Structure 1
């Protein structure tokens, strides 16, 4: 059975890469990619011109005021683009070859919701660039019953702006992210995003096996693989009289004398009876 426990560092058990490794070495870009918006506070520095160094807040209309330039709109620009825009305006009759550096001192109030199989599901404020792993960690990590996938619901418009009617759902493979270190799954969280962590699908093996219990369901799982996960038969097992108890549409049915290559469905109960001979 596999599960996740993000807050524990270093990771143990089946995980092949620690969450700390993912956060430190994931190619997630820099703050230069952060999109500036109303409410952000920016520290703007012009190299060799300390008199132009200033701290500004983006107003409700998405504009700032800057010495020599005056007021201009910045909404939709990332930090790098804004630096270039200010350099271009300063170079237009004010400074020769200006070099501008911008640091986001305070981020506007941005929030995202995470629900499902995390230890503290809630609405959280996003501070700076926040990835999926960071949001999960903020929510206390994944529960032992966390499933393979997370589903992120995001509101977009046709031109990519936020807070418009159209929604998209992004399916994220948490198992690939955590166990295989696939950082392409560690997407950035945006304001208004809603993340749902699914519950692990399980099957149950009982009767004459060495370790009866619940086991994770995997696509293509067969009876023999499920029994192998339960460490095999006991000496008293009847391998030819295995049953599967399955519920479909609320109706329980019993499949008798199933073959070893029979496909197992989520929530199936595999019963290995005792041999009387």
Structure 2
């Protein structure tokens, strides 16, 4: 009887086990997306070195070379792309570096005091995200959260412990507890 009851309660919880890709992305190089603000430096070219924002289409507007696709690229890939475009008729040996100046925001919803959008800081966990949003409400389930993230263009969700790391652009949902 206890086994049947446990399986019924477990089946009603709506638990969604994250796919392996959900956690594998945490160990991969960061990939840019809309909302990221980048500091791009071209050595000996102060007129080209500046802060650039990736727009909703996933591109950034760069002097001389125009629109540069950035969505899904790593730092090394974007550096090589910009250097290659500058080498094509503008600079002989461009030395380009790309750094994230500000990550795209994350979102917190559900049973928190101040649901909304917040700036991401490297190394954040779901628990620190909840703390930034004002903490849990009295009805919040504090044992785990649901995180939704986009990985290679695919939206994935999973229920994880509050100690799990989050990524820029993640949506954290705090569920209501039943007891």
* Same fold per superposition (TM over 0.5): yes
Deviation at 1:161, TM superposition (A): 1.8
Are 1:64 and 2:60 an aligned pair? yes
- Which position in structure 2 is the counterpart of 1:173? 161
Unaligned runs of 5+ in 2: 1-25
Are 1:199 and 2:168 an aligned pair? no
Match of 1:35 among 28, 32, 37: 32
Are 1:99 and 2:95 an aligned pair? yes
Deviation at 1:195, TM superposition (A): 1.4
Deviation at 1:83, TM superposition (A): 1.9
Please give the alpha-carbon distance, in whole angstroms, between the structure 1 residues aligned to 2:62 and 2:32: 19
Are 1:190 and 2:164 an aligned pair? no
Deviation at 1:133, TM superposition (A): 3.0
Retained in 2: the 8 A contact 1:36–1:78? no
Match of 1:44 among 40, 43, 48: 40
Residues 99 and 190 of structure 1: CA distance in aligned 2, closer, same or farther (over 3 Å): same
- The 3-state SS of whatever aligns with 1:170 is strand
CA RMSD of aligned residues (A): 3.7
Retained in 2: the 8 A contact 1:149–1:173? yes
Please give the alpha-carbon distance, in whole angstroms, between the structure 2 residues aligned to 1:197 and 1:90: 49
Residues 48 and 29 of structure 1: CA distance in aligned 2, closer, same or farther (over 3 Å): farther
Which structure exhibits the higher relative contact order, with contacts defined as CA atoms closer than 8 Å and separated by 6 or more residues? Answer: 2
Residue correspondences, number: 151
Instruction: Determine which structure has more spread, i.e. the larger CA radius of gyration.
Output: 1
Please give the alpha-carbon distance, in whole angstroms, between the structure 2 residues aligned to 1:51 and 1:124: 33
Retained in 2: the 8 A contact 1:86–1:100? yes
Deviation at 1:148, TM superposition (A): 2.5
Greater share of helix: 2
Please give the alpha-carbon distance, in whole angstroms, between the structure 2 residues aligned to 1:63 and 1:189: 17
- Which position in structure 1 is the counterpart of 2:135? 141
